[in-house]
């Protein structure tokens, strides 16, 4: 073995050790911050964590798709972890799902102090991913989001950490922090706790994130004027509102279902936000209609509705409907898009995730 080879081996070992030490240090720092947060909070009900809505993925567009053709009891032992979950599964709660969440169970023989549950949620904001907490209500036969509006006795809760979203999968530090918080809660309320193994959760998170990345598709079409005069803003607004769209605070028009689910969006082709004043006083260089495929129920019908709206707009505004390269849409290209939309929804159904469902909305946010 030459001196160069020996030197490279030594350098490699040093780098591996340094990375390991840094990761351990980072984990200790995050746990220490969580413990400091837990010790400093007050026993008052607090709101849950905010959604992590950053989107770092590059989503396929219409042009790309055209081209690619989950009684009393004796004294309890100390809290413990295991791979099993003790929560009742007969009725599914609105948040925890084993297919997309790291779900931990805490079971007590006596009612848990509500301020401890609020403290847990407050401390869980340090995890950096969506964390939810639900209590089992035997009289209702279902899981209910905690904290409750009234102080009902709760003897069993499940804490859930979402495994992935559009910002990527959870990491080992986040999972370990979540597990430690659940253990701390169980100790405080004198209960047993059960959590899945972190290695298995890491693998599940990576697989889920890879799956979501493969089907994270957004398709768009554009309505552009035939002349340099542009599209009159007041007329654009009137037409969109007649089709059921409404101007939202994010500067886009949105079409939503009766239950409030957002279906389609209409935005300025150059990315500028719409406002009432701007629409009243300006002409637009173009309009972009978009559909977030995983979050869209019945995407085939919704895609046709988007195209129908685009064509009506084009007819009324003396404009044309084009793809991302400003080429007119063709029937052959649209057929390819419909086929791929159906393929995305079929893949989601295969994993038990219905397109347009609340589960899909959580994953693709």
Domains of the chain and any CATH numbers: 70-197 (3.30.70), 217-363 (3.30.1400.10)
Q: How many CA atoms lie within 13 A of 191 on its CB side?
A: 27
- What is the mean predicted confidence (pLDDT) over 313-318? 96
Contact by Cβ (8 Å): 323, 336: no
pLDDT number for residue 98: 76
pLDDT number for residue 260: 81
- For residue 244, pLDDT over 80 is answered with yes
pLDDT number for residue 262: 85
Residue 56 buriedness (CB in 10 A; 0-12 / 13-18 / 19+): exposed
Q: What's the CA angle centered on 332, arms 215 and 313, to 5 degrees?
A: 85
Residue 365 buriedness (CB in 10 A; 0-12 / 13-18 / 19+): middle
| 125-156 pLDDT tens trace | 999 999 999 999 988 899 999 988 777 899 99
Of all residues in the chain, what percent carry a pLDDT higher than 90?
61
pLDDT number for residue 15: 56
pLDDT number for residue 19: 52
Lowest-confidence segment of 7-11, 213-217, 233-237 by average pLDDT: 7-11
- What is the mean predicted confidence (pLDDT) over 267-287? 96
pLDDT number for residue 8: 58
Lowest-confidence segment of 21-25, 224-228, 298-302, 343-347 by average pLDDT: 21-25
pLDDT number for residue 4: 57
- For residue 315, pLDDT over 50 is answered with yes
| 15-33 pLDDT tens trace | 565 655 555 555 555 455 4
> Can you say whether the dihedral through the CA atoms of 74, 77, 78, 82 is positive or negative?
negative
Of all residues in the chain, what percent carry a pLDDT higher than 70?
74
Contact by Cβ (8 Å): 176, 104: no
Partners of 103 in beta bridges: 160
| 71-108 pLDDT tens trace | 333 332 333 332 223 333 323 334 567 789 999 999 99
* DSSP-based three-state secondary structure for 145: strand
**CA 134/CA 295 separation, integer angstroms:** 24
pLDDT number for residue 324: 87
- For residue 280, pLDDT over 90 is answered with yes
**CA 116/CA 136 separation, integer angstroms:** 16
The DSSP H or E segment spanning 133 is: strand 131-137
Q: How many helices (H) and strands (E) does the chain have?
A: 10, 15
pLDDT number for residue 37: 42
Lowest-confidence segment of 56-60, 106-110, 287-291, 326-330 by average pLDDT: 56-60
Pure H helices in the chain = 3-40, 62-67, 114-124, 172-188, 198-215, 233-242, 276-281, 299-317, 331-350, 358-363
Contact by Cβ (8 Å): 219, 303: yes
From the list 133, 128, 208, 211, the residue with the least C-alpha distance to 175 is: 128
Contact by Cβ (8 Å): 240, 266: yes
> Can you say whether the dihedral through the CA atoms of 98, 104, 110, 112 is positive or negative?
negative
Q: Fill in the DSSP letter of residue 356.
A: T
Average pLDDT of the chain is 81
Query: Residue for token digits 């030197």?
Result: 7
State both tokens at 360.
Answer: 């899909």
């Amino acid at each position: 073995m030459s001196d160069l080879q020996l030197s490279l081996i030594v350098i490699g070992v040093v780098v591996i050790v340094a990375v390991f030490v840094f990761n351990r240090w980072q984990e200790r720092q995050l746990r220490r911050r969580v413990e400091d947060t837990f010790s400093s909070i007050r026993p008052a009900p607090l709101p849950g964590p905010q959604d992590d809505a950053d989107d770092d993925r590059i989503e396929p567009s219409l042009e790309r798709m055209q081209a690619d053709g989950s009684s009393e009891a004796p004294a309890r032992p100390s809290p413990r972890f295991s791979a099993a979950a003790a929560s009742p599964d007969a009725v599914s709660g609105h948040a925890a799902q084993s297919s997309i969440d790291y779900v931990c169970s805490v079971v007590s023989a006596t009612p848990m102090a509500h301020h401890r549950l609020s403290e847990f949620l407050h401390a869980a904001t340090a995890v950096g991913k969506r964390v939810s907490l639900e209590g089992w209500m035997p009289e209702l036969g279902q899981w209910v989001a905690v904290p409750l509006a009234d102080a009902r006795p709760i003897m069993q809760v499940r804490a859930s950490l979402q495994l992935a979203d559009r910002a990527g999968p959870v990491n080992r530090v986040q999972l370990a922090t979540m597990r430690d918080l659940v253990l701390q809660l169980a100790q405080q309320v004198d209960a047993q706790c059960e959590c899945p193994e972190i290695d298995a959760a890491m693998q599940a998170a990576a697989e889920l994130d890879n799956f979501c990345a493969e089907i994270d598709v957004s398709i768009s079409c554009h309505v552009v004027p035939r002349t340099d005069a542009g599209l009159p803003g007041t007329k654009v607004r009137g037409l969109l509102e007649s089709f059921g769209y409404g101007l939202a605070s994010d500067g886009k028009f949105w079409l939503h279902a009766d239950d409030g689910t957002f279906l389609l969006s209409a935005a300025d082709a150059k990315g500028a936000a719409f406002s009432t004043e701007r629409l009243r006083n300006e002409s637009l260089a173009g309009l972009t209609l978009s559909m977030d495929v995983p979050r869209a129920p019945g995407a085939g019908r919704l895609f046709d509705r988007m195209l129908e709206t685009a064509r009506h707009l084009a007819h009324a505004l003396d404009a044309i409907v084009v793809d991302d390269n400003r080429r007119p849409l063709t029937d052959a290209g649209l057929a390819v898009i419909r086929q791929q939309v159906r393929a995305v929804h079929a893949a989601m159904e295969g994993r038990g995730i219905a397109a347009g469902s609340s589960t899909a909305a959580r994953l693709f946010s």
